[in-house]
Homo-oligomer: A and B are copies of this chain.
Amino acid sequence: MLPPGDGGSHGYPWGMSSTVDELVAQLRDGGSRVTTARRLVLTALVKGAHHPTAEELLVAVRALAPDVHASTVYRNLEELERLGVVVHTHLGHGAATYHLATEAHGHLVCEVCGATVEAPEDLFEAMAQGAKRRLGFELRPYHFAVLGVCADCAALSDGADPEPSVG
């Protein structure tokens, strides 16, 4: 699962994901040291699933370096977030999920089936403008998901109202 840390970014279909080397450079610029564990966390973020939890990142890291400790992953994520390299998001009641700051986006999560939809950038715009104009409040709507019912579940539950599962 780990092709060479080549410099060029050959595209991932859904976007411009940075390479590990670029992120490592960000670390150095920020004055942080580059360690094995830290590099592996970045690698897992770049190449792994879309919304990994700290736990999932730990598993990915341990696949290559079995002795990395959970608290190391937590501390690294904290530091990476401080440097603006990653952000974390809460999609529901469980653990936070992490992604690269360059991929920041809003999330819609279905209360019924748990499906996660990445919100189009402009979906929040009207609300953000309204909040700014009327309350002076600058929205940053990326940190918590917005819950709701996805199209599939809405169709299925016409007439029957299943218990929400994410709430």
Contacts and interface: CB of A to CB of B under 8 A. Distances in A.
Given A123-B131, A130-B126, A131-B123, A148 B140 contact: yes
Given A137-B151, A144-B144, A108 B123 contact: no
A108 B131 contact: yes
Given A126-B127, A127-B126, A130-B123, A136 B154 contact: yes
Nearest to A144: B144
Size category, A interface:
35 or more
A65 B154 CA distance: 43
A60 interface: no
A117 interface: yes
A149 interface: yes
How many chain copies?
A: 2
A135 B108 contact: yes
A138 B123 contact: no
Interface string A110-152: 1100000101100110110011001111111101111111110
Task: Summarize A's interface: helix, strand, loop or mixed.
Answer: mixed
Nearest to A108: B137
Contacts of A137: 108, 110, 117, 148-151
Interface of A: 82, 88, 90, 108, 110-111, 117, 119-120, 123-124, 126-127, 130-131, 134-141, 143-151, 154, 163, 167
A9 to B, nearest CB: 28
A140 to B, nearest CB: 5
Question: 6 closest Cβ contacts across the A-B interface?
Answer: A136-B151, A144-B144, A126-B126, A139-B148, A138-B149, A127-B127
